[in-house]
Structure 1
Amino acid sequence: MTATLPSPGTPGTNNRARISARTFRKDRWWLGPVLTALGLTAFVVYATARVFQQDNYWVEEHHYLTPFYSPCLSASCVPESAVFGTLPWAFPWFLPYALISLPFLLLFRFTCYYYRKAYYRSIWQAPTACAVSEPHDRYTGESRFPMIGQNLHRYFFYAAVLISLVNTYDATIALAHGENGGFGIGLGNLILIVNVVLLWCYTLSCHSCRHVFGGRARSFGTRPVRYWMWTQVSRLNTRHMLFAWITLGTLMLTDFYVMLVAGGTISDPRIFN
């Protein structure tokens, strides 16, 4: 099996090697894309099922609210769970209770630079792996509709920051609802706090966040504080892929734990009241 390369400048060619095989690679190049596709699919299936279940999302005793329902906006929400108030009508089954936050969070992750690479390779196969041909005749990148919308990622970042603040409030206010009506810590509190800390790590490690602090600066010489902040964000940025995957797991774990406690399947172990 051989590959031939047309002469440079030959009309009607793109000067690429003509290879009859999809790839000459002998390693398990397909394993990474397969695992990525399975991981993303598992999260989408779980999150979709939970968002539209519209039940077991709130633990009144300890003020636990799953992030999949925050902020709870439907008039059908348990009143105490809607800390920011609700809209004046109940949502039909096909609308999530967190109608405003979830679309922005979805778009923030969907347009994320890491997730683009993940689903471009594993699902869209553009390309599946290095030195593996892709099943597409043309390549237009992100220069045409609808993919040009990926450039809106920088704006979804600001929405994600606001939603992270809401999640932080949810985790913080739950500390003031111990068994005696005062400060208390249970396993659920720790799970909510760890989840929100990791969500901040993912959000602040975003490439758009790094650009906010240093993208337009011609020099950091007269901006020591800004340079320090840009440096810290840059350090987080090197682990953006790690946080992207970890937060998918912690979001499901947090929601699953709240669901079990809210449904009475388990009780929340108290550490301090």
Structure 2
Amino acid sequence: MQNTRKLTNLARLMLKRTATMATTTANQGTTTTTEQTTHFGYQTVKESEKQQKVREVFEQVAQSYDLMNDAMSMGIHRVWKDIFIERLGPQHGMRLLDMAGGTGDISFRYLKYLAKQANPQQRISHVTVSDINQQMLNVGEERARQLGLTVEQLSNASIDWQCADAEKLPFPDNNFTAYTIAFGIRNCTHVDKVLSEAYRVLQPGGRFMCLEFSHLNNEAMQWLYDQYSFQVIPPMGQLLAGQWHAYQYLVESIRRFPRQDQFKSMIEDAGFVHASYENLTFGVVSIHSGFKL
């Protein structure tokens, strides 16, 4: 009788363990199959993987980033950034968050623009350069020292550097009068979260501005642009920076970014008003703008 009971109890224990293992396996399967995916260039990857992949790309290209910008655009990126700052129209006393500001191109233009403007009231302006990649910020800080744009060398302006994720910023609400992001938003996993965070940290009346590669409206010109992008830029990346795949990704990421009207709608959905865009160089890049009221 005792032996029968022992066998019965053993059978029950085995059944319980089997059921527990089945449940665990099922849960693991569910987790795997329900995790959201996103694009990394033309690849489909898990959302949890994209940020690290993007970080690795920019770690690889940080030292050659400015050189490659000049080579890929034949120097035109400088004109685009100058126009971008002109459209922003910096004023003394402004607090700017330059997101994905890495090597400092936009922030340096902002500071130089202010230096040319009269400032009779001696108002203090500020820029926070922020990027998810510390290597890019390191390059930017070294450039700032070389250009004489450090805190110690500036008058009536200050600059700081903050490593941060655009989707979850460490800054308080209503903290900045302007937010810029140049050639960075297309690399983010959740563009809607980036826009929402931009809206949160801006003061009422603050302005959001984005400079980003976009889409040409002329099919023939788009075809020519595609040939240049895919046939020339990755080999150029290999030749000048030793990075083929990083620049292959950068080209692909442009094609995956929403068209101008779609992105304008996303900006409006985030709460911004008076949203607009301006195409530069036939739409190779676009400037998008919106205001928080």
**TM-score, with normalisation over the residues of structure 1?**
0.28
RCO greater where, 1 or 2, for CA within 8 Å and sep 6 or more?
1
TM-score by length of 2: 0.27
Structure that is richer in strand per residue: 2
**Looking at CA atoms only, which structure, 1 or 2, has the larger radius of gyration?**
2
